[in-house]
Every structure is written in C-alpha cells, then in structure tokens.
Amino acid sequence: MLEISNLTKRYGKFVALDGLNLHIDKGEIFGFVGPNGAGKTTTMRIICGLLKASGGSVLVDGVDALKRPDDIKRKVGYVPDFFGVYDNLKVMEYMEFYGSMYGMEKEDVDEIAVGLLELVNLADKQDTFVDTLSRGMKQRLCVARALIHNPELLILDEPNSGLDPRARFEMKEVLKNLGTMGKTILISSHILPELSEMCTSIGIMERGKLIVSGRVEEIMQKSMGIQPIHLRAMVPGMEADEAKAHVLTVLKEQPLVSGVSYAGEEYQIHYGGTEQQAAYLLKALVERNIMVSDFHREKENLEALFLEITNAAHAAQVHP
Amino acid sequence: MNKKFRMNPIMKKELVVGSRSIKMSIAILGINLFLTLIVILIMATTNLASGSSGYDYSALLMIFPVLGCVEVGLLSLIVPIITSGSISGEREKQTLEIMLTTPVTPFSIAAGKLGAAMTVVMMYMLSSIPVMSIAFVLGGMSWWALIGLIGILLYLGVYVGSVGVFCSSVVKKSIAATILTIAIGIGILVATSVIFYTWIGIWAYRESVGTAVSQPVLAPMVMMFNPYSPIFDFMLRSMTSTSVYGMIDNAWQTPALIGLIYKAWIPVSVALNLLVSLGFLKLAGRNISVTRNNKKRK
C-alpha cells in the first residue's frame, strides 16, 4: 500500500529526512514513533502532497505521490496534528463541504457522512456547530472528514495530543474499529503504549531515519531483552547476608547475565536470553539450593525500548 | 451531457457561514443608512439654497453622481476588508492545510473566495437600489445608468477583490492584508496617473521649446490600466454629453484605430483590468500552492 524509498528532505543544510525507507502493507495500522524533529510530520506531509521532497520516491497503491500529487489526494485522508474548524458551520455541513471538495454529490455525502459520524460516535451531533464541539469531538470529526472520500490510506499525525484520557480512549476505539474494517492507517504518536495496543506494526524514527520497524510482537520481543528479571529468593540454612552472597555468586556465573543489582530484598537481573533460556536460569538457581518465591520478567515496555534505541542512535552519531 | 451545475464548494461554504454572521446585516444597515443620510443632506442643502426663488430641481441631479462616487468609495474600502482575510484567515484558523489535501486547486480556492466576496458585494449593492432610485425618480438618471452603475461597481469589486485575495495569500495577518490591498490600489491609481501626466508634461515641454515630434496620443493608454478610469468615463457619459474619448479627441488628433479603442474606453479598460485581476488570482493560487510553501515546520 505504501512504499517509501530513500526519501530525503532538506531545508538548506538541515536534513529532515535522511534516505527514509518504509513499507506498509494493505490493512496494516502502522505506528510512527520518534522524538520531536525526527521527521514524522515531514514524512506524512510529503505523502499527502503538502510538502515537496528533495529526493526519493513515495508510492501509494502504486501511484507516485511525488510525481502525481493530485492523484494521491483521492487516495489519502489526512488528519493533521493541529487544525481548526469554521465558525457558524454545522457538523453535517462541515462533512458536506469536504465531500463537495472531492466532487461528491450532496446526497452521496449525506449518506456516507451519517455512517462516518456513527463510526466516530458523533451521530447525535449532526446539527451542532463544529466550533462548539469539545477538542476530542473535533478530533474525531476530523477523522470522519478524512474518510469522506473513502481513501485507501488514512494518515493521522498525533491524533491523541492534547486529549484527556476519556477522549483518548474514544479515539483509540475509533481507530481500532477502522483497523477491523481493513483500512490502512499510518499514525504518529508520542504515547507509545497506546500505539502498541492499536498498531499492527511500528517504526521508530530518529533524525530523519527509520531505526527500527516491524510487527509489534517482534518489537516487543526485542524489548524483552532489555527488561530485567525480578527475583525473590532464600537459601535454607543460611543467614541473610550469606544467602545474598550465594545468590549473587550463582547469578554472576550464568553466561547470559550481564548485571545484577539487589534492592528491597529483590534481585534485578539483566538477562539477555530468551524466555526458554530464562527457564533454564531458574532451574540452575533451584539446583544450587536456592528457593525461589518470585521470578518474573518486567512487563514489556515500549517506552524503554524507544529510549534505548534512540539513545543508542544518538550515541552512535556523537561517537561514530 | 446532463452535467449538473456545481457551485465552487469554497464559495458555497463562505456564503453559508457568512449568512449566519451578524456582520453582514450590520454592514447592509450601515451602508444604506450612510447613503440615505447623503440623499437627505443633498435635498436639505438644495432646499435651503433655493430660498424664496423656488425649489431648484436641477440641483437634485447631483444625487446620482454623488451616490455613485460614494458607492465606489465604499466598495474600495469594504472589498479589501472582506477579501483580505480570505486566505490569511484560513491560515490563522489552520484550515488551509486540510483544504490543500483535497483535489480542489489553489486557483479554485482563490476564485471561490473572490466569488463569495462578490456575492456579498452584490447584496450590498442590490440593497442600496431603493436609495439610488431616488435619483431615478427625480430625473437624475435613466434605468440604463442604474444598470450600468451596478455593472461597473461589480467590475470594480472583482478588481479590488482579486487584489485583496492576492494580498491575503502573501501576508499572514488579515489586517496587514487589508492595508496592503488599499496600498496597492492607491499605488496603481497613483502610478498610472504619474506616468500619464509625466508623459503629457514632457510632451508639453517639448512643444513649448519646439522639439515635439508628435502628439502624445498613446499616453491615455496608460490610464486604461487605471481601474477607476472606466468609472470616470461612465460618470462622464451619464452626466454630460462628453466622454473620455471626446476629451482626448478635443485635445489631439487621434489616428483612426487608436480613436476606435478610446471610443470603446469602458469595455476595453474593463477587459484589460479584468485580465490584470485574473493575473492577481493566478498569483494568489501560486502563493497558496503547497509546493511553494516549503519552510521548515517541525
């Protein structure tokens, strides 16, 4: 559905996109993650035809977005990070206005708009003036607006920014529904755990480059490697200090253990192995007369992975 | 074959939004109140001046040119205010970007904004017809003069409006766009006059020292690009037996072909200035176009 190859964007000497490559299949919900200035918005604006690229190619459903931006406008629906609405315009009129921009007849727009407003839980707001809606409602209305022409690809730039938890939840539900309808969605956000719940794939951007991308499960698998194992244990017949020394010795003997810390009667083990290898670690502890009362891997944390990856990328640039 | 008429979506939206605003009602009331006051003032002055010698009805003939000039002046101020927020307002509201992701072309956006402004101008003008008709009743104007005045005001509205839309696409703030529109209008007015009078002045000097080769019959061509010159010719034709052509022909001997052009001063000048308007709209479309808007954002 979306194929980005070697996409580059320069503003004078500043490189906003540095040979970006990205592939999104039809029906995927792709989460774009990255710090401010990473190039997420620039990429999205280039896909939508709002910005000219300095180089590379962008194919949306086989159509070159850089060479045929007018054709792309019918294939893409865009929800920007910041947008306004018109005063004195009702919700249904707002939808009719944007429908007419795509050359649609009023009757067709009305029929589609009713369905879309239901999808975004605004069916009862058809006669409400758009400027009186809450921010969350405006955001959902903007999603409905972006879908009025039934685009192949929906692009949402930080759709949850500035929303309260309730509005975020409602937006998440709307996007999940769109996912079940088979829409291809490209979404950027800073709220990483929410992205992992909604998206089928994610990509992490840093300084105009895509550092990591893949299925959410694969990324999660990678994150497991950086999550510590928490251990509570005792050794029969040993005093607390002696038992602690014994456990630390046993742990440090294990080849995949890169570090161990002890705090609050709990050991934190930095373990690079898989889940199966972690089971062998537990077995080794038990065989060395260590009685284990708790042994669990800290929950996968996309945020931690994000920081780890972006920090590593930053360090590599500073000290190549 | 059975293609439905489709109104420019931006124009349609502007009309819906504008009709719900109280501003339009207040503006119509204000304009008509102002015109009515002027008519009352002329009639009162005429009444006072007539004294014991009887009412001087010929003085009431002034109503038409005075009202016409007032309408021209009002239009020159109102249209920049209406159009100067057309594009900059969309930018301020952050709605332009969404518009640009649709298949509607930047030129259509500019044209839609101008079309909406012209509809509002039409409303203002039509609402003032009852007041203008006083001049008709008192014999100061014919039906054709009234229709002609509406036509010429519409033309002026298109011209000033296109400058307004262009300025709105150049600057970010609506107030700055209003000032720039008025400045460009005055600039064109002054520039064409300065060129014309300088041309004539040089010729007059050469004539006085005996070095003039030919009469400056082409100099008035410059004034054809003055957007107010067709209005001047229209007023001259409506109120007197002469015209711009008559004035030129009296002063110099114009060749036949140039004379024909001057005879058709109003249509030729209107056509030329509407072409200039089209140029302003095209430029506005270029300024709106995203491919030119490539400044670093995030």
Q: Which of A72, A81, A97, A105 to mutate to test the interface with B (most CBs of B within 10 A)?
A: A97
Could you identify the residue written with the tokens 């039509």? B126
Q: What does the pLDDT read at residue B255?
A: 84
The answer to the question of residue B297 being in a domain is no
- pLDDT-based confidence at B290, cuts 50/70/90? low
A305: left (phi over 0), alpha (psi -120 to 50) or beta: alpha
Q: In terms of C-beta density within 10 A (0-12 exposed, 13-18 middle, 19 or more buried), how is residue B54 classed?
A: exposed
Q: In terms of C-beta density within 10 A (0-12 exposed, 13-18 middle, 19 or more buried), how is residue A65 classed?
A: buried
β-pairing, A29-33 vs A184-188, is parallel
What pairs with residue A32 in β-bridges?
Answer: A188, A203
- Please report residues of A whose CB lies closer than 8 A to that of B100: 49-50
- pLDDT-based confidence at A50, cuts 50/70/90? confident
Per DSSP, the residues of A215-267 read EHHHHHHHHHTTSPEEEEEE-TT--HHHHHHHHHHHHHHSTTEEEEEEETTEE
Give per-residue pLDDT as tens, B147-188. 888 899 999 999 999 999 999 999 888 888 889 999 998 999
Q: Is A32 on the interface with B (CB under 8 A)?
A: no
**Which residues have CB under 8 Å from B298's CB, separation 6+?**
A36, A37, A41, A42
> Using CA atoms, how far apart are residues A288 and B244, in angstroms rounded to an integer?
113
What does DSSP assign to residue B253?
-
Segments of chain A assigned E as strands: 2-11, 14-24, 29-33, 55-60, 63-64, 76-79, 153-157, 184-188, 201-206, 209-215, 229-234, 257-263, 266-271, 291-297
- What percent of chain A shows pLDDT beyond 90? 21
- Please report residues of B whose CB lies closer than 8 A to that of A93: 13, 16
Residue A317 scores a pLDDT above 60: no
Q: How many structural domains compose chain B?
A: 1
End-to-end CA distance of chain A: 35
SS (H, E, C) A25-36: CCCCEEEEECCC
Find the radius of gyration of the CA atoms of chain A: 25
Give per-residue pLDDT as tens, A169-220. 888 888 888 888 878 999 988 767 677 778 888 888 888 888 888 887 777 6
Could you identify the residue written with the tokens 């928490």? A230
- What percent of chain B shows pLDDT beyond 90? 33
Backbone angles phi and psi of B86, in degrees to 5: -60, -50
- pLDDT-based confidence at B4, cuts 50/70/90? low
Least Cα separation, residue B90 to chain A (angstroms): 9
Q: What is the mean pLDDT of chain A?
A: 84
Q: Two tokens at A235?
A: 């050794």
- Please report residues of B whose CB lies closer than 8 A to that of A86: 13, 17, 93, 95
Residue A71 scores a pLDDT above 90: no
Q: In what order do the strands lie in the sheet with A266-271?
A: A257-263, A266-271, A229-234, A291-297
- Please report residues of B whose CB lies closer than 8 A to that of A101: 9, 99, 102-104
What pairs with residue A261 in β-bridges?
Answer: A268
The answer to the question of residue B93 being in a domain is yes
Residue B5 scores a pLDDT above 80: no
CA A199 to chain centre: 6
CB contact under 8 A, A80 and B94: yes
> Using CA atoms, how far apart are residues B110 and B229, in angstroms rounded to an integer?
26
Q: List domains and CATH numbers for chain A.
A: 2-214 (3.40.50.300), 228-297 (3.30.70.100)
The answer to the question of residue B295 being in a domain is no
Q: In what order do the strands lie in the sheet with A76-79?
A: A76-79, A153-157, A184-188, A29-33, A201-206, A209-215
Give per-residue pLDDT as tens, B105-116. 999 999 999 999
Find the radius of gyration of the CA atoms of chain B: 22
Q: Is A13 on the interface with B (CB under 8 A)?
A: no
Residue A78 scores a pLDDT above 90: yes
pTM higher than 0.80: no
SS3 A203: strand
Q: Which residue has the higher pLDDT, B4 or B94?
A: B94
Give per-residue pLDDT as tens, B223-252. 999 999 999 999 888 878 888 888 888 888
Find the mean pLDDT for residues A9-19. 87
Per DSSP, the residues of B171-194 read -SSHHHHHHHHHHHHHHHHHHHHH
ipTM: 0.79
SS (H, E, C) B128-140: CHHHHHHHHHCCC
Please, are residues A97 and A85 in contact by the beta-carbon 8 Å criterion?
A: no
CB contact under 8 A, A48 and B101: yes
Please, are residues A171 and A160 in contact by the beta-carbon 8 Å criterion?
A: yes
Q: Which residue of B has its CA nearest to A47?
A: B101
CA B11 to chain centre: 20
CB contact under 8 A, A41 and B297: yes
- pLDDT-based confidence at A43, cuts 50/70/90? very high
Residue B128 scores a pLDDT above 70: yes
The answer to the question of residue B273 being in a domain is yes
Find the mean pLDDT for residues B279-283. 95
The answer to the question of residue B6 being in a domain is no
- Please report residues of B whose CB lies closer than 8 A to that of A84: 93-95
Q: Which amino acid is residue B21, in one-letter code? A: S
Q: Which residue has the higher pLDDT, B131 or A319?
A: B131
Q: What does the pLDDT read at residue A305?
A: 67
CB contact under 8 A, B13 and A42: no
Per DSSP, the residues of B275-288 read HHHHHHHHHHHHHH
Segments of A34-123 assigned E as strands: 55-60, 63-64, 76-79
Residue A18 scores a pLDDT above 80: yes
Provide the domain limits for residue B276: 14-289
Find the mean pLDDT for residues B73-82. 90
Q: Which amino acid is residue B214, in one-letter code? A: S
The answer to the question of residue B7 being in a domain is no
Please, are residues A256 and A277 in contact by the beta-carbon 8 Å criterion?
A: yes
Q: What does the pLDDT read at residue B230?
A: 93
Backbone angles phi and psi of B179, in degrees to 5: -65, -45
What does DSSP assign to residue A113?
H
Q: What does the pLDDT read at residue B296?
A: 47
Q: Is A14 on the interface with B (CB under 8 A)?
A: yes
Give per-residue pLDDT as tens, A20-38. 898 998 888 998 888 888 8
Find the mean pLDDT for residues B86-97. 88
The answer to the question of residue B131 being in a domain is yes
- pLDDT-based confidence at A320, cuts 50/70/90? very low
The answer to the question of residue B202 being in a domain is yes
Please, are residues A138 and A130 in contact by the beta-carbon 8 Å criterion?
A: yes
Q: What does the pLDDT read at residue A216?
A: 77
Give per-residue pLDDT as tens, A258-316. 888 888 889 988 887 777 888 888 999 999 999 999 998 876 666 666 666 666 655 55
> Using CA atoms, how far apart are residues B21 and B19, in angstroms rounded to an integer?
5
